[in-house]
């Protein structure tokens, strides 16, 4: 770093994305991308004519995409906020509702960007440990006198809270924003969107990267009562009013409209997840109950790190975190049936070597 960087930023511990190695071709099960392509309408929307319009700025109101999202969830466009990936939504939310005088409460094991944003915006977070079984201790997030941020289902643990437990947290913190990050909810969780009309402090954050197959388009969104959306629009328009490009907007509208394709992809991933989890359990793995498009799994005869390394040597990438509580585990994205068959084949090879 240079001598000019502010001291407060020199201590930042940035978020580390999943590795993207270029040394050879891998079966990539480490970044929770959807293994299926975007909806057919997305491919049809990105025409030569659409590309030619890149000479013009995109619509700063993001009106077509807001309308498509609102229609899907039975809301109004004023209930919807759209950003360049859900990370931008999270960052704007921390900037809007948390600082040195307005704290935030987060789980100790969850999406890594929560701690990064707290550090970036100079917030001293209250970090609540998950239980021994990696479940969220709901009672410790109730009445905490701060903004609350948590993922449901959680990552990387894959565990989902029932909606009744989410509502307890929201209802017990009426004077503070409760942000529920639902990046993975379409694979088995219960969404809190149905609670928006009842709770002015509820902010539900979603992404097109997982269930809508648009990780590369970078579209995130939030849903809330209009006053919270107005707050976030004030921040966005003070920083990046053209944050959604023309092609991503077209892609997002078509992906949101094609409900049948979306549901089919989710169901295929859920089915493959179930088969893969059963096979890994038969091999002695310990797994949490997943409501996501990934598995949180620990082998029984080798370490999580060794399993990750041996899979990588065989051309299969999974995510290894390496912190003390997570070190026995890896996170395995659910790919196609064919990709997961390779994972299982390589896993059997690894375990046979370890325990001949």
Q: For residue range 56-66, what is the model confidence (pLDDT) as tens digits?
A: 999 999 999 99
For the segment 283-300, what is each residue's pLDDT rounded down to a tens digit?
Answer: 999 999 999 999 999 999
Is the omega angle on the peptide bond into residue 153 within 30 degrees of 0, that is, cis? Answer: yes
CA distance 84 to 142: 31
When pLDDT is cut at 50, 70 and 90, the band that residue 27 belongs to is very high
For residue 214 the two structure tokens come to: 């648009």
Q: Which residues, other chains included, contact 16 with Cβ-Cβ below 8 Å and sequence gap of 6+? A: 112
Environment class of 165 (CB within 10 Å of its CB; exposed 0-12, middle 13-18, buried 19+): middle
Residue 21 pLDDT more than 90? no
CA distance 317 to 74: 39
Residue 18 pLDDT more than 90? no
DSSP code at position 219: -
What is the pairing mode between strands 147-151 and 126-128?
unpaired
Q: What is the mean pLDDT of residues 161-166?
A: 98
Predicted structure pTM score:
0.97
For residue 274 the two structure tokens come to: 């179930």
Residue 19 pLDDT more than 90? no
Residue 356 pLDDT more than 80? no
Of the listed ranges 9-18, 75-84, 146-155, the least confidently predicted one is 9-18
Residue 34 pLDDT more than 90? yes
For the segment 214-255, what is each residue's pLDDT rounded down to a tens digit?
Answer: 999 999 999 999 999 999 999 999 999 999 999 999 999 999
Q: Which residue has the tokens 């549901």?
A: 263
């Amino acid at each position: 770093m240079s001598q000019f960087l502010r001291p407060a930023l020199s201590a930042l511990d940035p978020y580390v994305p999943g590795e993207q190695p270029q040394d050879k071709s891998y079966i990539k099960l480490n970044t929770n991308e959807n293994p299926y392509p975007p909806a057919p309408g997305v491919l049809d929307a990105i025409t030569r004519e659409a590309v030619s319009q890149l000479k013009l700025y995109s619509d700063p109101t993001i009106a077509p995409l807001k309308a498509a999202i609102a229609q899907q969830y039975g809301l109004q466009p004023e209930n919807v906020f759209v950003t360049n990936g859900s990370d931008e939504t999270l960052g704007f939310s921390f900037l809007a509702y948390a600082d040195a005088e307005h704290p935030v409460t987060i789980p100790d094991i969850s999406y890594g960007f929560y701690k990064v944003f707290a550090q970036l915006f100079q917030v001293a977070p209250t970090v609540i440990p998950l239980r021994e079984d990696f479940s969220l201790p709901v009672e410790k997030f109730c009445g905490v006198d701060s903004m609350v941020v948590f993922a449901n289902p959680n990552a990387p643990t894959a565990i989902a809270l029932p909606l009744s437990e989410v509502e307890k947290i929201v209802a017990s913190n009426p004077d503070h924003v409760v942000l529920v990050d639902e990046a993975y909810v379409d694979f088995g969780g219960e969404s809190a969107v149905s609670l928006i009309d009842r709770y002015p402090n509820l902010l539900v954050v979603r992404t097109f990267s997982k269930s809508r197959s648009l990780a590369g388009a970078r579209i995130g969104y939030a849903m809330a009562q209009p006053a919270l959306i107005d707050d976030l629009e004030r921040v966005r328009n003070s920083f990046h009013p053209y944050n959604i490009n023309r092609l991503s907007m077209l892609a997002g509208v078509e992906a949101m409209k094609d409900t049948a394709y979306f549901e089919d992809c989710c169901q295929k991933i859920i089915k493959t997840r179930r088969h893969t989890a059963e096979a890994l359990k038969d091999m002695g793995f310990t797994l949490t109950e997943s409501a996501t498009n990934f598995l949180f799994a620990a082998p029984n005869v080798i370490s999580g790190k060794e399993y990750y390394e041996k899979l990588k040597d065989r051309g299969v990438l999974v995510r290894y975190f390496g912190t003390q509580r997570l070190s026995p585990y890896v996170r395995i994205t659910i790919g196609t049936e064919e990709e997961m068959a390779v994972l299982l084949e390589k896993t059997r090879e690894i375990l046979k070597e370890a325990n001949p």
